[in-house]
Amino acid sequence: MIVFVSGGARSGKSLVAEQCVQQYADGKTCYYVATADIYDSEMAERVGHHQARRANHWVTLEAPLNIEQAVAQVPNGHAALLDCLTLWASQVMFNTQEDAAPVSETEAFALLVRALHDARRRGVTLVVVSNDLNEAPLPASAEVWRYVEFLQKLHRWLAAQADQVLEVVAGQSIEWKAAGAP
């Protein structure tokens, strides 16, 4: 089961996604694939907000780049939250991981594809969270356009693959693709 949840900044998408994971986890341990690379105090505070909300039955797996490896650590039949794709995509594109080898966009896309296939094969429910960034004028920077195009490629692929697609506005979900729909 693959679920794709996206929305604007502070729309409540993480909370919706967490509830979704807990619902599918059905009392079992939930897994949190954290893509956030904590590089300053504002980021630490951000992460803190999310961590404080998740009770003890969540296990965190850090994955600033290799989401495939992180998803592989989720036991069969469990539910996991990947939060968030936007940050992961920016870490791929802008090569922020100083101690890691750079990952190309093609390699990164393959990591996502393999992580999803692995989750499906092992009965892992994977809920992927991302930000909607493409409905406003973009700065006239080739780098930003490339980033948005890359992120949208991931979003379109995910939306096509996912069993359920949710848009979150003010904490409310709009169902773009219903679970169980063909």
Partner 1 sequence: MQLFIGGASAGKRDAVKQRFPSAVWWRLAPGQRLHEVAHVMLPNTPLVLHGLFEWLTAAQDSDFSSDEWRAQWREDLQRLNQTAAEDNVTLVIIANELGRGLVPIARDQRRLRDLNGWFTQDAAAHAEQVWYVRHGLLQALKG
| Known binding residues for GTP | 7-14, 34-36, 62, 83
> Do the beta carbons of residue 131 and residue 84 sit within 8 Å?
yes
Q: Does 12 bind partner 1 (CB under 8 A)?
A: no
Q: Does 8 bind partner 1 (CB under 8 A)?
A: yes
Q: Does 173 bind partner 1 (CB under 8 A)?
A: no
Using CB under 8 A, which residues numbered 100 to 139 contact partner 1?
132, 134-138
Strand partners, 62: 34
Q: Does 180 bind partner 1 (CB under 8 A)?
A: no
What are the phi and psi torsion angles at 83 (to 5°)?
A: -135, 115
Binding segment for partner 1 (CB under 8 A), chosen from 16-24, 69-77, 115-123, 160-168, is: 160-168
Q: Which residues are annotated as a binding site?
A: 7-14, 34-36, 62, 83
Q: Among residues 32 and 147, whose Cβ is nearest to partner 1?
A: 147
Q: Which residues of 104-142 are buried (b: 16+ CB within 10 A; e: fewer)?
A: ebeebbebbeebbeebeeeebbbbbbbbbbeeeeeeeee
Catalytic (active site) residue 57 = no
Which position among 81, 82, 165, 166 is part of the footprint of partner 1 (CB under 8 A)?
165
Q: Among residues 109 and 176, whose Cβ is nearest to partner 1?
A: 176
> Do the beta carbons of residue 31 and residue 80 sit within 8 Å?
yes
CB count, 10 Å around CB of 175?
11
Q: Does 167 bind partner 1 (CB under 8 A)?
A: yes
Which listed residue (50, 78, 117, 155) is catalytic?
50
CA dihedral 65, 152, 87, 175 (to 10 degrees): -110
What are the phi and psi torsion angles at 169 (to 5°)?
A: -130, 120
Q: Tokens in use for 5? A: 């949840």
Residues that bind partner 1 (CB under 8 A): 4, 6, 8, 132, 134-138, 145, 148-149, 152-153, 155-156, 158-160, 165, 167, 176-177
The residues that are catalytic are 50
